[in-house]
Amino acid sequence: MAILRVCYDGPMPPRAALIPLLLALVLTVPGPAAGAAARPTDPLGAARRLYNQGQFDAAMTAARQAAAVPSLASSARLVIGRIHLELYRRSSDSGELEHARAELRAVDARALDARERIELQVGLAALLYFDDRYGAAAELLDPVVDSATALPPEAHDRALDWWATALDREAQSASDRDAPFMRISDRMEQELRRNPASVPANYWLAAAARATGDLDRASAAASAGWIRASLAGDRAGSLREDLDRLVTQAIIPDKAARLPQRERRQALTSLTADWEEFKRIW
């Protein structure tokens, strides 16, 4: 039986910085460190490094040079597709999305190595996400998230965050809105057992509990996430910003909405004061 949802009629409060990070190139490649001079004989490596540096015009030029080499063509098309996706994210130009679709569909996955195949799945998931096919995007990302050992930690967190975001968006039109959030909750519990410092897991465990109406757990998870943020290094600030927004804009108003109308204003004041005192202490 679905848990009663109170005052839930939309997606989570906006995150501090989510989508702009998700389309960063997931995979690192061998070769010179970022900023070092690219070797003229390595146009594919140059394209990837330039992409990661945000130099998309130069990255496109290098990737097209690589695409002219038959043995590099599919890998180069993968990079070109990802460049078009990034340009679409920045401009909302539908032509960029169509170019991305054409390039990624032309990739021969048999010519890619294991890590590039993961990157291809990320690119295809991005296409689905931008087409508002959130459930399908989440399904494509699901095995990517499971490939934790094949991804750098930051890339794994991006995939996990995006997977949950896609399910959150899918829930808005699902017949059973609780089911996607139960999936999120289960995965984030597993993630926190593996890595208590996980930024997306600390956020989404609280957000999923709130979305299904379990406000007591949502409050507890947000408080625990606030404390565990100290383990997240330089990402502690953004995690706490997101949790604070979730508590003040969603969890506290939902709790107050369960009370009689005459008691809500006082409840909002009291709950907000309690949260501010908790943050002051911790």
Structure tokens at 139: 């399904």
Q: What is the pLDDT along the chain (282 residues), one digit of tens a residue?
A: 232 233 334 455 555 444 433 444 544 443 444 444 444 568 999 999 999 899 999 999 999 999 999 999 999 999 999 999 999 989 999 999 999 999 999 999 999 998 899 889 989 999 999 999 999 999 999 998 887 566 778 888 888 998 999 999 999 888 888 999 999 999 999 999 999 999 999 999 999 999 999 999 999 999 999 999 999 999 999 999 999 999 999 999 999 999 999 999 999 999 999 999 999 999
Greatest pairwise CA separation for the chain in angstroms: 73
How far does CA 85 lie from the centroid of its chain? Answer: 15
Evaluate whether 162 touches 194 at the Cβ level (below 8 Å).
Answer: no
Q: 199-218 burial, b for 16+ CB within 10 Å, e for fewer?
A: bbbbbbbbbbbbbbbbbebb
73, 111 contact by CB (below 8 A): yes
* pLDDT score for 154: 83
Cα torsion 178, 222, 242, 10 to 10°: value is 20
